[in-house]
Amino acid sequence: MSYRFKCRTCKEFVYLREIQKKNTNYPCSNCNSANWISGKYTGFKEIDENEWGKSIKSIYEKNLMANNIPDKVPQYCNADCKYYSGLFIGKCSFYNEDVTGGYDCIATRRFGAVPGRFQKMPEVQDIECPNCNKPQNDNAVFCKDCGTEISPKELVTIAYCDKCESEYDESYQFCEKDGNQLVLKKKEFDESPQNIESVKTSTNIVGESNNFVKNKVTDLPMNWYKFITYLLFPAAILFYLYLAIMIGDDTVTVSLLFAAVLSGIIIYGLHNRTSWSWKLLIISYILNTSTSRLDRVEDLGIFPYLIVVVIMTIIITYPNYIYFNKRKHLFVN
Identify the CA nearest to 266 among candidates 241, 243, 239, 237: 237
C-alpha 69, offset from chain centre: 18
Which of the pair, 207 or 185, is modelled with greater confidence?
Answer: 185
Is the pLDDT score of 314 beyond 50? yes
Half-sphere exposure of 55 (CA within 13 A, CB side): 22
Is the pLDDT score of 195 beyond 50? no
Which of the pair, 18 or 320, is modelled with greater confidence?
Answer: 320
C-alpha 313, offset from chain centre: 29
Which residues have a Cβ under 8 Å from the Cβ of 277 and sit 6 or more positions away?
266, 268, 269, 270, 331
Ranges 19-28, 51-60, 70-79, 307-316: which has the least confidence: 51-60
Max mean pLDDT among 98-112, 121-135, 203-217, 218-232 falls in 218-232
Residue 261 has what pLDDT?
92
Write down the mean pLDDT value for the chain.
76
Confidence of residue 252 (pLDDT cuts 50, 70, 90): confident
Q: Taking residues 77-88, report their average pLDDT.
A: 83
Which of the pair, 50 or 260, is modelled with greater confidence?
Answer: 260
Residue 275 has what pLDDT?
87
pLDDT more than 70, % of the chain = 77
Max mean pLDDT among 43-47, 63-67, 179-183, 232-236 falls in 232-236
Residue 154 has what pLDDT?
63
Q: SS3 for 223?
A: helix
Is the pLDDT score of 103 beyond 70? yes
Is the pLDDT score of 228 beyond 60? yes
Q: How far is CA 328 from CA 178, 211, 322, in A?
A: 16, 17, 10
Residue 138 has what pLDDT?
64
Give the start-end residues of each E strand in the chain: 2-6, 13-16, 24-25, 36-37, 45-47, 72-73, 84-85, 89-92, 97-100, 116-117, 153-160, 167-169, 183-190
Ranges 25-39, 95-109, 125-139, 210-224: which has the least confidence: 210-224
Which of the pair, 31 or 97, is modelled with greater confidence?
Answer: 97
Is the pLDDT score of 197 beyond 60? no
